[in-house]
Structure 1
Amino acid sequence: MNILARGLPDTSLTVALASGGREFYGWGADRHMQADLYDALNQNTRATGHWQKKAPDIAPYPRPTPKTAPAERPKTKTVAELYRGFN
């Protein structure tokens, strides 16, 4: 099963549950790079703009956050733990 799970796309629910929870579902490398690009463009716009008074505060792109701190998360999850996450 481990070999099959490694072949799953990074946007799959199984990979999301192994990464920290359902909030990571659909967040593959491409979406993370797009969010980083969005933030970089906004920071560039804010830094190089000619503002009359004050530069506007541009909120960063919302990203999923794990429910627990990274140090507290287990490094690996068993198949049974992943299955419990589906239910």
Structure 2
Amino acid sequence: MQRLPDTSLTVALASGGREFFGWGQDRHLAADLFDAINSNTKATGQWNRGKAPKIPAFPRPQTKPKVKAAKRPTTVAEIYKHFQRR
């Protein structure tokens, strides 16, 4: 998978799913810049009531946590049973 554009579907599926389609380095950087500008505005603004408004973060695709099932090792007896059923 060399030389594929970072916005391709193949790279998106390797990154975690279809929701990453179109999310290249430029889009991640723009989302980070958006959040940085909002947090700077929130920190340095002079608000009437002294409390800054809640500014939502830029929506990003969420990675799904990988669930690792506790799998016990297969024994030779189980393999033997499996092939005997055929």
**Which ranges in structure 2 are unaligned for 5 or more consecutive residues?**
68-86
Question: 2:19 corresponds to which residue?
Answer: 23
Structure 1 residue 63, shift from structure 2 partner:
0.1
TM-score by length of 2: 0.73
Aligned-residue sequence identity (percent) comes to 64
Aligned length in residues: 66
Alpha-carbon RMSD: 1.1
TM-score by length of 1: 0.72
Task: Find 1:33's aligned residue among 29, 47, 70.
Answer: 29
Q: Give, in whole Å, the separation in 2 of the partners of 1:21 and 1:48.
A: 37
Structure 1 residue 30, shift from structure 2 partner:
0.5
Structure 1 residue 6, shift from structure 2 partner:
1.5
Structure 1 residue 59, shift from structure 2 partner:
0.2
The superposition leaves residues 54-75 of structure 1 with CA deviations (integer Å, 9 ceiling, x where unpaired) of 2110000000012x21xx27xx
> Structure with the greater relative contact order (CA < 8 A, sep ≥ 6): 1 or 2?
1
Q: Give, in whole Å, the separation in 1 of the partners of 2:19 and 2:11.
A: 11
Task: Find 1:63's aligned residue among 48, 60, 64.
Answer: 60
The superposition leaves residues 20-51 of structure 1 with CA deviations (integer Å, 9 ceiling, x where unpaired) of 10000000011000000000000000000000
- Tell me which amino acid in the other structure corresponds to 1:24: F
Query: Which of the pair has more CA radius of gyration?
Result: 2
- Structure 2 counterpart SS, 1:6: coil
